[in-house]
């Protein structure tokens, strides 16, 4: 896979996220993704997770990159910092995750995402294009399952998009309420360079 493939994929999600029917269909293809942290210790304090259409245009990929490498300075070898994760249907049940809050948010996604998406698309920021994930708790070499979730909020749609991170081997939830959907961008110190490239391509 080349950078042009990644940015094309991100751009395709950028188009699909504005169409309720397309977004619902794509997000129905799976509700979590597996991520193995192969990044050097200390480089995962801030992660960017971009959504993009898969090569068959019938599902989603997530492109994860440490924020420190998500800028023009690393464009020549940026692909070595990008981890491609396929969005998959969950094989088990979310009730296996012990934290009540995490279970509620995952269950809210499963139950409400198809009615929440049209309401969110109608909002000024629209549907998410990426996520900001604080990853300072992640251990190098460990596998993580990351679930789409909805957090109850005072927003006009009633929910804010969220991600729940579990350690794959133990199914123990590491829940951090600092995961943020993007847009909006105003709360972030780092650039979302891959998104800049994707939106700049014709």
Predicted pLDDT of residue 111:
93
- The H-or-E segment that residue 133 falls in is strand 130-134
Q: Where are the domains of the chain?
A: 3-95+111-143+179-200
* CA-to-CA dists, residue 37 to 45, 57, 63, angstroms: 12, 26, 13
What pLDDT score does 201 carry?
59
The rounded distance, in Å, linking the Cα atoms of 125 and 111 is 23
| Cα–Cα distance for residue pair 28/80, rounded to 1 Å | 30
Q: What is the pLDDT of residue 185?
A: 58
Q: Distance between CA atoms of 130 and 112, rounded to whole angstroms? A: 20
The whole-number mean pLDDT for each consecutive block of 10 residues of the chain, a chain of 202 residues, reads 94 94 93 89 85 90 94 94 91 50 89 94 92 80 88 90 79 57 62 82 52
- By the 10 Å C-beta count (0-12 exposed, 13-18 middle, 19+ buried), 201 is classed as exposed
Helix (H, G, I), strand (E, B) or coil at 9: helix
- Given the structure tokens 């009540």, which residue do they identify? 100
Q: How far apart are CA 51 and CA 81, in angstroms?
A: 16
pTM equals 0.76
The two tokens of residue 177 are 């309420």
C-alpha to C-alpha distances, 45 to 41, 69, 71, 156, 179, nearest whole angstrom: 9, 12, 16, 31, 12
Helix, strand, coil percentages, rounded to 5, for the chain: 35, 30, 40
- Residue 198: the pLDDT is 85
**DSSP label at residue 84:** E
């Amino acid at each position: 896979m080349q950078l042009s493939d990644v940015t094309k994929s991100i751009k395709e999600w950028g188009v699909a996220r504005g169409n309720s029917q397309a977004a619902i269909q794509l997000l129905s293809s799976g509700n979590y993704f597996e991520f193995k942290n192969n990044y050097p210790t200390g480089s995962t304090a801030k992660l960017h997770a971009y959504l993009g259409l898969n090569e068959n245009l019938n599902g989603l990929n997530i492109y994860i990159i440490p924020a420190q490498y998500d800028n023009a300075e690393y464009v020549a070898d940026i692909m070595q910092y990008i981890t491609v994760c396929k969005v998959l249907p969950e094989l088990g049940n979310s009730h296996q995750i012990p934290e009540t809050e995490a279970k509620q948010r995952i269950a809210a996604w499963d139950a409400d995402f198809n009615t929440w998406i049209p309401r969110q698309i109608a909002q000024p920021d629209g549907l998410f294009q990426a996520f900001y994930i604080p990853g300072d708790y992640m251990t190098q070499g460990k596998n993580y399952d990351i679930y789409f979730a909805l957090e109850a909020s005072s927003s006009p749609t009633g929910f804010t998009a969220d991600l729940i991170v579990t350690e794959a081997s133990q199914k123990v939830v590491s829940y951090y309420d600092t995961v943020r959907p993007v847009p909006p961008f105003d709360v972030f110190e780092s650039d979302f360079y891959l998104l800049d490239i994707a939106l700049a391509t014709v």
